[in-house]
Structure 1
Amino acid sequence: MTTTAIITLAAVLVIVLGVSVLTRPRHSSTVDFYLAGQRVGVATNSWAICGDYLSAASFLGVAAAVYVSGLDGAWYAVGFAAGFVPVLLLVAAPLRRYGEFSLADFLGRRLRSEAVRLHSVGVVQLVILCYLIPQSVGGGITWELLVGHGLFGLSPYSTGVLLSTAVIAVVVASGGMRGTTWNQAVQFLLLFGALVWLAATVSADGFRYGEAVETLSQEPLVNPAPDGDQWQLTQEHNAISPGEEAVFGQPGARYGQLGQVALVVTLGLGTAGLPHVMNRYFTAPTGRAARTTTVWVLLLIGMFYALAVMMGTAARDIIPAAAREHAWLAELTVEGVLRVPEHALPVLGRIYGDEAGLGLIAAAALIAAMSTVAGLLLASAATWGHDVYERHINPRATQRQAVWVGRASTLIAASIAAALAILLRPDAFTPAMPSLVATMVTWAFAIAGSALTPVVVLAIWWRRTTAAGAVAGLASGSVTAIAMFLIASFMEPGALRELFAAPTLVAAPLAFLLTIAVSLRTQPPAEVEADWLIMHGTAADRHAERMAALTMRERRRRKEERRAR
């Protein structure tokens, strides 16, 4: 471990912990701990959402997927970025206007059902766990490359998993949403700045994206694969045109036509059901602020993913020549091709910035993992502390008790994720996946998009949605997605396997249909018109409704006073 690496890691930890201490809430109310007092501005919230959303799967995984499979890897960037379009059009403003603590809280109150609330909690926790594990894996991979040494007798990978998860768990438990918000905003700016530096440096050295794609496409695409104790390069085959060789700049290196559509739909629909991202909209002061925030998020993540695709291409173009000049690359490559695709950006950083460049990019990767872990742990705390403990276990809980339960749940969730990440270490998987981290995150998107998104969208936009229908949609979407995942692991490569591996294209329509079918046979909540006005009425409508309610209460008070006389 070099002095530069030590200084870089120490600086990151000091910044993260320092921001948490400075922004620690002065009060112990649940609104402060979970929602930062609902006073987060547009700029800060947009940066924080980006920091929350742009995980290790985005920073390491998208570039890695492009590095391994060329154009097919870029579908991850398309799907991740496109996910905020339905959020902007369908979810952001109505969700904030309704104003709750979490997605489970929103569905439970909107449909007047504790059964819906508890089913939502189960699905939310499953999504959070599926998302937490790859972030911890990303932290372990980065530490292993950057430091290369373990602590307390642990392997470098396990040390990275435990250290990155433990630090951010303490940050979330102490700082709540206010500290997490500022941390994620600062972390996004650091993360984006590191990627911009790398792109500017590579471009200044003569790299041109179009020329690189054309050059790489002149030869068949090959990737390393284990052969016993050795590694050898294997040629990729075109999934769209069987029998033909796959090339970097043409579709088919990883997915067939159906698989590409299924992947983009899974990622696009999944965003609107991600609890750690959607919970951030409850922190905005108004529905309009939530919508404006989403516009800024779309702009920022669009630029980020464009740079990530560009850098994945640059790594594929530059690293083979660099491997002939730098001896340290021999341990990471097979004939100039990286064995671990997630090393693409850190290796580029070291090529162009020596140890300081490696430290910067690796620190950015740790930031990406830690920032998303923070949002996930806070979403977990909201569901356990507010939706379960306050609502069911101890309805008479004080604000202080509820906050402490939320803090304890963050530590428990972090421990489970770290333990599973250590068990599911990267070398347990084959390079059949374009990127381990990006692929594992796809599981979370699939469950969210198959179960939560259909029910949330219908609850916002269809008056007839009922509690029984929502339970049917949540259960069918999540069970179908998980079953398809499991079946895909036993299937031979092909279009059907690609569909089952990204199951939202099947599971989400099923959840929509079952929610509608069951809702049509049951009665919606009596308060649906009042809820509709809150979510969709104009500001004047809502003001008039509040004034009417105040007038009615005043009339009832006067009647009671007259009767008392």
Structure 2
Amino acid sequence: MTASIVLLAVLLVAIGSVAVFIRPQRSSTFEFYLAGRRIGVVTNACAICGDYLSAASFLGVAAAVYASGLDGMWYATGFAAGFVPVLLFVAAPMRRFGEFSIPDFLGRRLESHSVRITSVVIVQLVILAYLVPQAVASGITWELFFGYGLAGLSPYATGVLLSTAAIMLMVALGGMRGTTWTQAMQFLLLLAIFVWLAIVAVGAGFDYPQAVRELSEQPLANPEQVEGRWQLEPVTNQLAPDTPAYFGEPGGQYGQLGQFALIVSLAMGTAGLPHVMNRYFTSPTGTAARMTTVWVLGLAGLFYVLAVLLGTAARSMIRDMSGDVAWLDALTTNGILRVPEHALMVLGQIFGGRAGLGLIATGALIAVLSTIAGLLLASASSWGHDIYERHINPNATQRQALWAGRLAVAVVAVLSAVLALGVRPESLAGQFPSIVATMVTWAFVLAGSALTPVFVLAIWWRRTTGPGAAAGMVTGAVVAVTMCAAGVVLDGAGYGELLLTPTLVSAPCAAAVTVAVSLVTRPPQHLSTIWVRLHGTAADRHTVKLARLTRTGLGQRKGGHR
């Protein structure tokens, strides 16, 4: 136990030190938010993976596979597929246009202050929705790994508060440059942990096809608390409600509509995630942004393949060992974990003892810290740059703007920790295959409903206007939040699975309202110049700049002759 704690402390201190020592010496918002736009392709790809592969990926995907079998793979599919639309439609044009953040991009593209302010509000809601499950995951990890709290707090609350405080300090001190390098290191560490765990599992005799066949011999069942007592409850096949679900067959969690709705929600949501999209502004060129996305697709694909394999290994091996290991029996009911997010950590302890558990717990906390860092930077950019510098104090010095961003980091971090403390993972374990993955999905739903449709239209439809975009964002957010809330209340009844992942409905609503309002309002004044910035070649942009300089020079000469 002591060695595991020392390992965790050393790794966290090392990562924090990198963030501090590699930070830029010049204090400017350009360096703090964009790292001077000097981040290379591979480094940025690893950093994006560190940003994106959150606790929902490290713990949640394996947990979803553990709890619902084949249906848990839809999370891996949707998370990995999310970068395909980014590659095809978003990355290069957005970087060519070149701004600080999503609100900055939309405000300048549509020449509208109302769009900037509206998008800041939506971005903050997405960030908060994404931050809370990360804090929940840190509490779950601390609770299993350490088992005790500090200063009279519960173990869960201690994990939430310590992780939030640590990453808040790292982001405030390191900015984008320090965070980029730490996130790249964090991703490589997470990938190495997955590779190690897969190798030792296979070396211990785990065979994926055979394990799926054996797990599918009996109907799927998971622990649920009934009148204060844990017992196994059979899982109903959502594709055929009168039959039981099996591990190796679809239907353990979603029907046909639910499966499709989940993948669409995750794929569309990626293009609207502020902490991921903001990273593309740090690329040197549009081509570099596109190549970065190609690397991300490959690295993320490998990561999710391993997550699915390990979730299956945990279900198979933990079941076989139940009844013989005292510490394992305390976490299970009839050989099935009560909290699916424990799957990887238990697997680590099976193969590596307390040191193995410490390594997986370290990976889980690092996944949390890495994603929280990106989210807090995106929050700081929205408040500090888009609100404080442009509306509250347009004459702010660089020092004042930086402190405004750091204050935003602190406020949002504290708020997310407070909300996470109200979540009780065990009480929700029976309702969702993975509470962490499900909560993150809601953030994807909000981003994919309110931001992605407007984002894509602003890039590819010339006629998009500021009022249209603002109306579309509000519509998408309201429809998505209302439907998700109804889905939680109905608990999956009827069309509940569509209500919980409503992007199929909310995104078209947002797009339709954006188009309708745009058609009756005035487009941006400098649309031709804007379009060249988005889609023109380097030669086109150089020609436009030269023509502008020539016109300016001729105007000055005429003024001089007068």
1:289: Cα distance to partner? 0.4
Q: CA separation in 2, counterparts of 1:410 and 1:483? A: 28
Q: CA separation in 1, counterparts of 2:310 and 2:426? A: 24
Which residue in the other structure is 2:239 paired with?
Answer: 240
Q: CA separation in 1, counterparts of 2:494 and 2:252? A: 13
Gaps of 5+ in 1: none
Which residue in the other structure is 1:418 paired with?
Answer: 417
Give the fraction of aligned pairs with identical amino acids, expressed as a percent. Answer: 61
Q: CA separation in 2, counterparts of 1:163 and 1:96? A: 35
Deviations along 1:175-200, one digit per CA (max 9) or x if unpaired, are 11111101101100111111111011
State the secondary structure of the residue aligned to 1:27: coil
Which residue in the other structure is 1:326 paired with?
Answer: 325
- Give runs of ≥4 in structure 1 deviating > 6 Å: none
Matched, 1:299 2:288: no
Which residue in the other structure is 1:128 paired with?
Answer: 127
Deviations along 1:494-532, one digit per CA (max 9) or x if unpaired, are 451000000101000111111111111111111111111
Is the 8 Å Cα contact of residues 225 and 430 (structure 1) preserved in structure 2?
A: yes
Which residue in the other structure is 1:258 paired with?
Answer: 257
State the secondary structure of the residue aligned to 2:232: strand
Alignment of 1:81-100 (within 5 A): 81-100=80-99
Is the 8 Å Cα contact of residues 230 and 333 (structure 2) preserved in structure 1?
A: yes
Alignment of 1:270-309 (within 5 A): 270-309=269-308
Deviations along 1:364-420, one digit per CA (max 9) or x if unpaired, are 000000000000000000000011101111011011100111011101111111111
1:430: Cα distance to partner? 4.2
State the secondary structure of the residue aligned to 1:369: helix
Which residue in the other structure is 1:445 paired with?
Answer: 444
State the secondary structure of the residue aligned to 2:134: helix
Is the 8 Å Cα contact of residues 102 and 275 (structure 1) preserved in structure 2?
A: yes
Q: CA separation in 1, counterparts of 2:251 and 2:3? A: 41
1:15: Cα distance to partner? 1.6
Give the letter aligned to residue 3 of structure 1.
T
Q: CA separation in 2, counterparts of 1:447 and 1:50? A: 21
Alignment of 1:452-531 (within 5 A): 452-491=451-490, 493-531=492-530
State the secondary structure of the residue aligned to 2:314: helix
Give the letter aligned to residue 9 of structure 1.
L
Is the 8 Å Cα contact of residues 259 and 495 (structure 1) preserved in structure 2?
A: no
Q: CA separation in 2, counterparts of 1:231 and 1:395? A: 59
- Return 488-497 or 438-447, whichever deviates more: 488-497
Is the 8 Å Cα contact of residues 339 and 429 (structure 2) preserved in structure 1?
A: no
Which residue in the other structure is 1:358 paired with?
Answer: 357
Give the letter aligned to residue 101 of structure 2.
S
1:546: Cα distance to partner? 1.9
Give the letter aligned to residue 432 of structure 1.
Q
TM-score (norm 1): 0.98
State the secondary structure of the residue aligned to 2:489: coil
State the secondary structure of the residue aligned to 1:490: helix
Is the 8 Å Cα contact of residues 338 and 426 (structure 2) preserved in structure 1?
A: no
Q: CA separation in 2, counterparts of 1:345 and 1:258? A: 29
Matched, 1:42 2:78: no
Deviations along 1:279-329, one digit per CA (max 9) or x if unpaired, are 000000100000000000000000000100110011111101122332110
Give the letter aligned to residue 254 of structure 2.
Y
Alignment of 1:135-146 (within 5 A): 135-146=134-145
Which residue in the other structure is 1:398 paired with?
Answer: 397
Q: CA separation in 2, counterparts of 1:494 and 1:488? A: 8
TM-score (norm 2): 0.99
Q: CA separation in 1, counterparts of 2:491 and 2:17? A: 50
Q: CA separation in 2, counterparts of 1:299 and 1:13? A: 27
1:492: Cα distance to partner? 5.2
1:489: Cα distance to partner? 2.0
Q: CA separation in 1, counterparts of 2:81 and 2:443? A: 16
1:472: Cα distance to partner? 1.3
Q: CA separation in 2, counterparts of 1:106 and 1:208? A: 49
Deviations along 1:318-353, one digit per CA (max 9) or x if unpaired, are 101122332110111011100000000010000011
Q: CA separation in 2, counterparts of 1:198 and 1:515? A: 47
1:170: Cα distance to partner? 0.2
1:5: Cα distance to partner? 2.0
Gaps of 5+ in 2: none
Q: CA separation in 2, counterparts of 1:306 and 1:279? A: 26
Which residue in the other structure is 2:102 paired with?
Answer: 103
Aligned length: 562
Alignment of 1:329-340 (within 5 A): 329-340=328-339
